[in-house]
Amino acid sequence: MKEQIRGFVYKTTFSAPEKINDDTLLFDEGIFDSMGLLNLISFLENDFSIKIADSELDATNFGSINAIASFLAMKLQTKEICAGLPAI
């Protein structure tokens, strides 16, 4: 999962792998801007079949590759739990 995120960041920002580590602050370092965030959201929703709410769009969840991976793991775990619940 982290490799997919890292690959997306490298591919869409044309950044050299040595410039970005898993804790690099993507917005503070100017690697991502608002358009980059929109592209990242689209990538995550499409590739991992999740839905990201506007209220989840903050630096805690998207500040670095590690933050994105943690957020994604939480979303996927929640999705699995919800899939096992009976429909109301």
Q: Distance (Å, rounded) from C-alpha 50 to C-alpha 16?
A: 28
Domains of the chain, residue spans: 2-83
d(CA 79, CA 28): 30
User: Mean pLDDT for the chain?
Assistant: 89
pLDDT, tens digit, 9 for 90 and up, residues 50-68? 999 999 999 899 999 999 9
Residue of 31, 13, 25 whose CA lies nearest to 64 = 25
How far from each other are the two terminal CA atoms of the chain, in whole angstroms? 31
pLDDT reading at 6 higher than 60: yes
To the nearest 10 degrees (0 to 180), the angle between helices 34-48 and 2-13 is 140
pTM for the predicted model, two decimal places = 0.86
| Choices 3.20.20.70, 1.10.1200.10, 1.10.3720.10, 1.10.8.60: CATH for 2-83 | 1.10.1200.10
pLDDT in tens, 79-88: 766 666 565 5
* DSSP character at residue 29: T
